[in-house]
Structure 1
């Protein structure tokens, strides 16, 4: 139990005990002074303060019990949160150690002898991999802490720009990319957000759809409005993810088993979720192993609340 919690409980316990003790002291003094008056019925006047003190204490006792229960619950939640955060940090460090160790070993192996042209190319590739990994880690930190530059955004224009960007990616020309956004009678309403970050989120999801699908597979970008929320959904007919690995892809450097054969850092989807949650929205992944995935990004049209 924290020092602050203990102090709060001591204060309330004192508030419960003091009235009864004070009432008892006054009653003893009154009785010792020879007071013999009586109050209605059977309550002796000298003991009236004690009775009032007991009454006050009895009224305060439930509050003490409730506060103790609340503090215990808060402490349990805090301890559980700390344990989860510690476990998450350990997993991240273990994965980071693995991700950095491999390219470093590759560089060392290439430098063991006088490097050939092929080994120089390997060193350059491994160095770029390290640079990309550290850059993605830095981006997540910036996403989580940098102030948002909020503007009014046309979702259709945002999707169009992201799709135009992804069509230049390797392999994108071999996928069937389609966009389906409502145009009549009511197009998607504008949303308030940081345009650069939301563009980055869409490009990351589309990049994953290209990377984890095969030539001829379909990638669809769909949109819909629900109450005060705009949903942008990216779906594909790629390899999909096993159900037991769905939670793993949202963790920094976490990658599904089959995805490890594809070049990547495992930081794309954690960055997407961080961006969407900064805007007060949610990101969810539905996937069917061997069939494909659907990833809806739900964004409040009014933008993030204060402090988002």
Structure 2
């Protein structure tokens, strides 16, 4: 019986039985000492009383067990997403006071969830509005800056400042775009449309994206993996995530260094590894690199905006994947991304 799965209840019933037996033995012994014979009526009376007490206790605990099971069912329903699930607490007693507190907690959680949802929606709309408002002046500034560069061919100082201005405008545009993407992911307003994609094709697209930069900086991007491995994912978003990690690797490598992108398939996992032999990450920073706008006090990078890796992590987790990082100063950094294969679960 389910109620006897509770060790305390089992000991309670055992204690009652032991006490009744002891009282019965003492009573029969007393009768025997006084009258030199045992009393059958006394034995029957004790057995009847013991049985009655045990039955009443069993009924009570079984009823309490039923009430608790009903409460657990309602709590499980709430945790499963039924925000209207509540425990019946119309009766009086300590147990029903507890149920009332649980119902109050559920109502408070619902209120917090509703507030959080409204705040996320407000944040998404606000950042979206700001981003769209910034696009027009940014486009205009880029045009003006381009015209300034064209007119400053014979003025090296002005041309230098115009080039620096272009770099800063590019940074602002990247910040705006990444803020918009990561906010939409947070708010759940982006639908990840998954399809079976060839991993090799996606990695080749990424290599092509960075080919010019790698050539200019005299760095090498090396691809390694089977052409037959596929992944259930949103191609555009997955390329966005890997792009950000590869860009981070290129940002922290030097002339002659290389970035290796490798993909493998195991029994139930597709694994993508991005490894570089660059400057590495300080141990103090390893637990913080996925935090938004995090700036290391050891980093010499003055161009980064601290959103690339958090965005990559958000996209990977939206695909039910995991990302881990291992790094050694002066040796390099390795990012390992794992995706479970649904058909192998």
TM-score where L is the length of structure 2: 0.54
Is 254-263 or 172-181 further displaced after alignment? 254-263
Task: Describe the superposition over 1:248-269 as per-residue Cα deviations: whole angstroms up to 9, x where unpaired.
Answer: 1011111333335331111111
CA-based RMSD of the aligned residues comes to 3.9
Alignment partners' CA distance in 2, 1:39 and 1:169: 98
Matched, 1:133 2:175: yes
Name the counterpart of 1:148.
192
Name the counterpart of 1:279.
319
Q: Report the secondary structure of 2:208's partner residue.
A: helix
Alignment partners' CA distance in 1, 2:196 and 2:339: 13
Q: Which runs of 5+ in 2 are unaligned?
A: 1-41, 73-97, 117-156
- Deviating above 6 A after TM superposition, structure 1's stretches of 4 or more consecutive aligned residues are 60-64, 118-124
Alignment partners' CA distance in 2, 1:154 and 1:301: 14
Task: Describe the superposition over 1:112-150 as per-residue Cα deviations: whole angstroms up to 9, x where unpaired.
Answer: xxxx95877777655554443232121112234211111
Alignment partners' CA distance in 2, 1:150 and 1:291: 36
Alignment partners' CA distance in 2, 1:124 and 1:133: 14
Q: Is the 8 A contact 1:205 1:234 kept in 2?
A: yes
TM-score where L is the length of structure 1: 0.60
Q: For 2:333, which of 290, 293, 302 is the aligned residue? A: 293
Larger radius of gyration: 2
Alignment partners' CA distance in 1, 2:215 and 2:287: 27
Alignment partners' CA distance in 1, 2:64 and 2:283: 50
Deviation at 1:272, TM superposition (A): 1.0
Structure 1 residues 243, 57: closer, same or farther in 2, change over 3 A?
Answer: farther
Q: Which runs of 5+ in 1 are unaligned?
A: 1-37, 86-115
Alignment partners' CA distance in 2, 1:234 and 1:188: 19
Alignment of 1:75-224 (within 5 A): 126=168, 128-144=170-186, 145=188, 146-169=190-213, 173-182=217-226, 187-224=227-264
Alignment partners' CA distance in 2, 1:273 and 1:206: 13
Q: Is the 8 A contact 2:199 2:231 kept in 1?
A: yes
Q: Is the 8 A contact 2:199 2:230 kept in 1?
A: yes
Aligned residue pair count = 219
Alignment partners' CA distance in 1, 2:184 and 2:313: 13
